[in-house]
C-alpha cells in the first residue's frame, strides 16, 4: 500500500511538471480563424479510393484500416501488426461487427455510411474486448445499454460531495470554468452527488487540466485532430484535455450546419459531460443519443443525459431525491460485471478513456 501511495505521489508531481498550455478557446465556431478549420471534405479526399472496398480486393490503405480496427478491439491484438492490403476474412468480420455495434447495415463493405461514421469524433477505448463486443446494439428497449468499468469502481458512499480543481498553470477564465460547472450539474441533477470547485489542485478529488504532448500519464496528446481528452475511473479522478484543440465554449451549431463536420472544432461541454460520466464509473452505451455513446453525430451538440445515462449512473449511486424522471426498470447489458473492457494501463492509470476526433482520418491520412 505504501508503494502505491508513493507511486501516486510521484505521478502527481510528474503531471504538475508536464507541458501545460493556455489552450485554444473560442466563443463560437464563427470566431475560429479559417486557417484552423479543416472540413471533412479534406478527409474524404484522402481515402476516396477506399470507398466501396469489399472482400477479395487489394487496395493501398487496407492495412491501415486493419490497424484502426485492431486499435478498437475488432481485430485481436495478438494478431500480427504486419497487415497486408488484402481485404480478407479478418477485415470483413471486423467490419461487420463494427457496423452492427453502431447500428449500420452489416454489409461487410466499406460503404459511404460506414466511412462517414468512421471519421466521427469518438472515444478511443476498445469496443470489443477479448473477442466480445461490449456494446449492446440491436437489443430490446427493455435492456439497458450502459456499461461499467471492470470491477464496477465508484466513489465511496461516504463521499457524496466531490471536489474539483483546475490546473493553475492553465489560467482558465470564469467563462471556461462555467462550462465544466454546467457539465457537472447535469450529473448531480440525477444522483445524490454534488460537485464543488476548490482552489487547491492537489487536494481536489477531480483534477482538470489542459496539457500538450507527453504529459507523463502514458497517453500523450498529439495536437489538433488527434486525441481530445481522457479521464480515468474512480477514485483516480484525473481529467486531461488537449490544449492544442480548438475548443468552442458556446457550442451552438451554426445555421449552415455541420458544426462537427469541421473536425478541428470541438464543443467543450459535450466532451466534458461525457468524460465526467467516465470519472463516475460509466462505460459506453450503444444508445445513439446517449451521452455515453462512443461517437458524436455530425452537427450535434450532445450535453443532455438520456434515460440510459441516468439509469446507469443511478445503478452506481442511487437517485437524487429531487429527481422526477422516469422509473422504467432496465436490465444492464451483459453480466453483473459487464464493462466496456477498458484496458489496464498500469497500477495507477487504470481504465482510461480517450476521446479521439478524426481517429480514422489520422490512421489513413498518409495513404
Q: How many other C-beta atoms are found inside a 10 Å radius of the C-beta of residue 258?
A: 14
**How far is residue 107 CA from its own chain's centroid?**
26
The answer to whether 216 and 11 have CB atoms below 8 angstroms apart is: yes
Known catalytic membership, residue 275: yes
Q: Binding site for Zn(2+): residue ranges?
A: 123, 215, 217, 230, 240, 274, 278, 284, 292
User: Please, which contacts does 349-352 make with residues 24 or more away whose CB atoms are closer than 8 Å?
Assistant: 349/11, 349/217, 349/218, 349/219, 349/232, 349/236, 350/149, 350/232, 350/233, 350/236, 351/149, 351/150, 351/153, 351/232, 351/233, 352/125, 352/217, 352/219, 352/230, 352/231, 352/232, 352/233
Q: Where are the alpha helices (DSSP H) in 48-129?
A: 62-71, 89-101, 112-118
Q: Binding site for Ca(2+): residue ranges?
A: 205, 222-223, 242, 245
Residue-wise DSSP of 147-216: -B-TT-----TT--EEEEEE-GGG---HHHHHHHHHHHHHHHTTSS-EEEE-S-TTT-SEEEEEE-S--S
Q: Binding site: residue ranges?
A: 123, 205, 215, 217, 222-223, 230, 240, 242, 245, 274, 278, 284, 292
- The single residue of 157, 189, 275, 304 carrying the catalytic annotation is 275
Catalytic residue set: 275
Amino acid at each position: 500500500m505504501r508503494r502505491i501511495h508513493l507511486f501516486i505521489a510521484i505521478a502527481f508531481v510528474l503531471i504538475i511538471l508536464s507541458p501545460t498550455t493556455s489552450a485554444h478557446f473560442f466563443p463560437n465556431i464563427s470566431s475560429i480563424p479559417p486557417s484552423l478549420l479543416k472540413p471533412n471534405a479534406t478527409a474524404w479526399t484522402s481515402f476516396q479510393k477506399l470507398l466501396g472496398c469489399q472482400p477479395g480486393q487489394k487496395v493501398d490503405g487496407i492495412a491501415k484500416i486493419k490497424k484502426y480496427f485492431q486499435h478498437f478491439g475488432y481485430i485481436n491484438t495478438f494478431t500480427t501488426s504486419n497487415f497486408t492490403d488484402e481485404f480478407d476474412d479478418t477485415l470483413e468480420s471486423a467490419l461487420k461487427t463494427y457496423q452492427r455495434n453502431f447500428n449500420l447495415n452489416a454489409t461487410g463493405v466499406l460503404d459511404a455510411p460506414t466511412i462517414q461514421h468512421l471519421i466521427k469524433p469518438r472515444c478511443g477505448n476498445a469496443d470489443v474486448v477479448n473477442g466480445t463486443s461490449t456494446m449492446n446494439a440491436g437489443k430490446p428497449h427493455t435492456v439497458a445499454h450502459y456499461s461499467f468499468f471492470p470491477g464496477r469502481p465508484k466513489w465511496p458512499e461516504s463521499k457524496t460531495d466531490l471536489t474539483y480543481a483546475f490546473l493553475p498553470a492553465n489560467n482558465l477564465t470564469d467563462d471556461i470554468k462555467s462550462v465544466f460547472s454546467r457539465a457537472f450539474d447535469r450529473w448531480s441533477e440525477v444522483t445524490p452527488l454534488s460537485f464543488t470547485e476548490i482552489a487547491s489542485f492537489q487536494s481536489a478529488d477531480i483534477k482538470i487540466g489542459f496539457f500538450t504532448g507527453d504529459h507523463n500519464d502514458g497517453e500523450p496528446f498529439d495536437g489538433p485532430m488527434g486525441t481530445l481528452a481522457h479521464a480515468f475511473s474512480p477514485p483516480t479522478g484525473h481529467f486531461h484535455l488537449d490544449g492544442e484543440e480548438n475548443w468552442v465554449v458556446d457550442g451552438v451549431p451554426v445555421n449552415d450546419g455541420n458544426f462537427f463536420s469541421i473536425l478541428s472544432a470541438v464543443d467543450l461541454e459535450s466532451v466534458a459531460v461525457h468524460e465526467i460520466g467516465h470519472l463516475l464509473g460509466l462505460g459506453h452505451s450503444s444508445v445513439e443519443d446517449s451521452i455515453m455513446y462512443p461517437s458524436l453525430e455530425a452537427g450535434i451538440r450532445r450535453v443532455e443525459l438520456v434515460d440510459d445515462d441516468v439509469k446507469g449512473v443511478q445503478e452506481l449511486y442511487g437517485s437524487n431525491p429531487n429527481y422526477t424522471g422516469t422509473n422504467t426498470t432496465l436490465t444492464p447489458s451483459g453480466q453483473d460485471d459487464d464493462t466496456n473492457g477498458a484496458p489496464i494501463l498500469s497500477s495507477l492509470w487504470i481504465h482510461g478513456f480517450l476521446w479521439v476526433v478524426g481517429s480514422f482520418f489520422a490512421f489513413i491520412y498518409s495513404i
